[in-house]
Structure formats: structure tokens, C-alpha cells
């Protein structure tokens, strides 16, 4: 499988290295307008993007030229959000399967245009909602579905960090969608994945001097038997770093994750840390995408319709 990477910032580096782990796949080309180096470190989370081995990889600055010259089977699109729709459609129309970074697009209309293009082309369109694939969150999805600890009574999610300073486009709400589409959507998408679409969403925001939301607290209505909330913040000091967490209260246990440690606290007996597979969501989502292309998976972990719904939900919070 010949693969192209479009955009070589932090996420481009993550995808580049994740593809190295897919048997039978080779990153044949990269398209980027930024200076190409073997360093792709940006962002506020740790990941395997520090070192990129670009030996034997063709470098392009023009996407149309790359698509015409490289006979690609698939691409990872790791560009700013405002470019997702047009670049995805361009690649799909060129007959290439597309793995596009989240969020899918800036609005529901653009999401639908991408979905229609994939249907017309008969190609895979997968949106890289990495939290669905993150080992601790994937474990949580399994135990909820299996009712291992009974029904969920309370589910609280949070994603806290400092305001992005490494990219000008992220700070531009017109180009990124702001905190709702960049940060809050991670937990909203996972909540949708586990519990379905809520009946309603009620949110409160703290805004900066320009009126842009910097902290969002959302309560999602799933009826009187289930309380679900999510918090996203760009108001932490830079020294705080990044934290993702959840607290889930079941009938017979409470489960807590604090970015590093996952702990189960049963109603009876001692607490314990369940065994979680090694890896991260980036590698797992790329592997899933490759399996979708080859037809070696029957799992439906993320669909364009679900990714579209996550955009709609996120926009509702601000």
C-alpha cells in the first residue's frame, strides 16, 4: 500500500511514524509547504513524532502533482481544519482512500460534502478520532458495552491544557473552530460513541477578552438515570501541561483514569489496575484505516456520519 502524508507538523509526524508499523504499507510521499526537516515536534502532548526518517520519501509542495505522480492508495490528511473539506474531496476524486484528522470539518455542510464525495468515489473516508482507539478509552467502551460492572450511573470527562501557542491558525476560530472543535470534540465524540446522541446539550463557557471560549463545561442529557458531563479548558498555565481524564460510576464499581493510570475501585474488594494493551490511539487508528481498505476488519469503529454528528454536537456547546 502506497501512502501519502499531507501536512508534516506534529500530527503529520504522528501519522508518518504510525504508518511505519502497518505491514505492507509504505509512506511513499509527503506534501508540505513547510520546510522539511526530520523534526516534527509541535503541540502540547507527548508522542512519537520527534524523529522522522524521510529517506526514500518523495517530497512535494503541490498536492495535485503528488496525486498525479505517485499512484497512491491512501493518504493521511493532517492539515489545519479549514483545509479538510477541499483536500479530502480532491484526494477522493483522485481515487485515493482518505484518513483525515479530526475534526472532520468546520461545519455539518462541509462534512456532508466530504461524505458525498467518498460515496461517489467508492473510497474509504475515515476521520481520525484517536480517543475511540486510545487503549484506556477502548477498554472503557468494552466494559460499558459488556455491562461488566452493571449500568453507568455517572460519566465525567475532562481535557485540560493551556492555550495553543505553537500555531496561529489554531487561535483563529474561523480556521480551527476554536476549543469546541479542537479540544472539546474529543470527549464529545467518545461520549457519542459510548452512549449515542444525547437528547440535549447544555453548556457554560469562560471567554477571553475577544469573546472566544477558553473553557467549556457541558452537560449531556441522556435521561434521569444517567448523568454525563465533559469539560475542556485552554485556561491552564503552560506549566500545567496536558491532562485527559474520566471518572465513571457504575452500579458495582467506579473507574478512574488520570492521563497515566487507569484504576477500578469495586464496591467490594480491593482496587486494581486492569491490564491495558500497549500503544496509543494514533497507531491504532492508522491500523484500523488500513484494515478498512484491505477489508480485513468487520468492525465499525468510526463512520463519516458519526464524525459529522460530533461536529454538530461540538458546535452546539459554544
Statement to judge: residues 169 and 287 lie in one domain: no
Q: Say if 108 falls within a structural domain.
A: yes
Whether residue 237 is found in the same domain as residue 174: yes
Same domain, 26 and 104: yes
Residue 23, domain member (yes or no): yes
Picking from 32, 147, 165, the residue whose alpha carbon sits closest to that of residue 87 is: 32
The parent domain of residue 49 ranges over 2-128+283-300
Question: Do 73 and 170 fall into the same domain?
Answer: no
* Contact criterion met (CB below 8 Å) for 310 and 180: no
Give the pLDDT confidence of 214-246 residue by residue, as tens digits.
999 999 999 999 999 999 999 999 999 999 999
pLDDT for res 298: 87
Mean pLDDT, rounded, for 261-278:
97
Peptide bond into 75 cis (omega under 30): no
Tell me: do 54 and 146 sit in the same domain: no
139 and 37: one domain?
Answer: no
Angstrom distance (rounded) from CA 80 to CA 170: 8
- Say yes or no: 115 and 136 in one domain: no
Mark whether 164 and 34 lie in a shared domain.
Answer: no
Instruction: Determine how many CB atoms are found less than 10 A away from the CB of residue 79.
Output: 24
User: Does 25 share its domain with 118?
Assistant: yes
Residues 157 and 238 in one domain: yes
Confidence check: pLDDT of 45 > 80: no
pTM: 0.94
* Residue 238 placed within a domain: yes
Residue-wise pLDDT tens digits, 154-206: 999 999 999 988 778 998 999 999 999 999 999 999 999 999 999 999 999 99
Q: Is residue 287 part of a domain?
A: yes
CATH code of the domain covering residue 82: 3.40.50.720
Q: What is the mean pLDDT of residues 55-75?
A: 97
Q: Output the DSSP codes for 116-180.
A: HHHHHHT--EEEE-GGGTSHHHHHHHHHHHHTBTB-EEEEEEEEEEBPP-S-TTTT-HHHH-HHI
Entry field: residues in the chain = 318
Domain co-membership, 160 together with 91: no
Position 305 in a domain: no
**Structural domain count of the chain:** 2
Whether residue 41 is contained in a domain is answered as: yes
Residues 142, 270: one domain? yes
CATH number for the domain including 171?
3.30.360.10
Q: Would you state the pLDDT for residue 49?
A: 46
Is 108's pLDDT higher than 60? Answer: yes
Q: Bin 102: left if φ > 0, else alpha if -120 < ψ < 50, else beta.
A: beta
Amino acid at each position: 500500500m502506497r501512502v501519502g502524508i499531507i501536512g508534516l507538523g506534529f500530527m503529520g509526524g504522528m501519522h508518518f511514524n504510525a504508518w511505519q508499523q502497518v505491514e505492507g504499507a509504505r509512506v511513499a510521499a509527503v506534501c508540505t509547504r513547510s520546510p522539511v526537516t526530520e523534526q516534527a515536534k509541535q503541540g502540547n502532548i507527548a508522542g512519537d513524532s520527534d524523529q522522522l526518517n524521510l529517506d526514500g520519501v518523495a517530497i512535494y509542495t503541490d498536492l495535485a502533482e503528488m496525486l498525479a505522480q505517485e499512484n497512491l492508495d491512501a493518504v493521511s490528511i493532517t492539515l489545519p481544519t479549514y483545509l479538510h473539506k477541499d483536500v479530502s474531496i480532491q484526494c477522493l476524486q483522485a481515487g485515493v482512500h482518505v484518513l483525515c484528522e479530526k475534526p472532520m470539518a468546520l461545519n455539518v455542510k462541509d462534512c456532508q460534502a466530504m461524505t458525498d464525495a467518498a460515496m461517489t468515489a467508492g473510497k474509504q473516508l475515515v476521520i481520525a478520532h484517536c480517543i475511540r482507539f486510545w487503549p484506556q478509552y477502548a477498554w472503557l467502551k468494552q466494559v460499558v458495552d459488556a455491562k461488566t460492572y452493571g449500568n453507568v450511573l455517572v460519566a465525567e470527562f475532562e481535557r485540560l491544557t493551556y492555550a495553543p501557542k505553537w500555531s496561529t491558525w489554531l487561535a483563529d476560530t474561523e480556521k480551527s473552530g476554536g476549543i469546541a472543535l479542537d479540544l472539546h470534540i474529543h470527549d464529545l465524540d467518545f461520549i457519542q460513541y459510548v452512549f449515542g446522541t444525547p437528547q440535549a446539550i447544555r453548556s457554560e463557557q469562560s471567554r477571553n477578552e475577544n469573546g472566544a471560549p477558553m473553557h467549556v463545561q457541558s452537560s449531556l442529557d441522556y435521561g434521569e438515570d444517567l448523568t454525563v458531563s465533559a469539560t475542556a479548558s485552554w485556561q491552564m498555565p503552560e506549566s500545567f501541561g496536558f491532562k485527559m481524564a474520566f471518572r465513571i460510576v457504575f452500579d458495582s464499581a467506579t473507574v478512574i483514569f488520570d492521563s497515566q493510570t487507569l484504576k477500578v475501585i469495586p464496591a467490594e474488594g480491593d482496587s486494581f489496575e486492569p491490564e491495558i494493551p500497549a500503544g496509543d490511539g494514533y497507531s491504532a487508528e492508522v491500523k484500523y484505516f488500513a484494515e478498512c481498505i484491505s477489508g480485513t476488519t468487520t468492525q465499525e469503529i468510526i463512520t463519516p456520519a458519526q464524525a459529522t454528528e460530533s461536529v454538530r454536537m461540538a458546535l452546539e456547546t459554544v
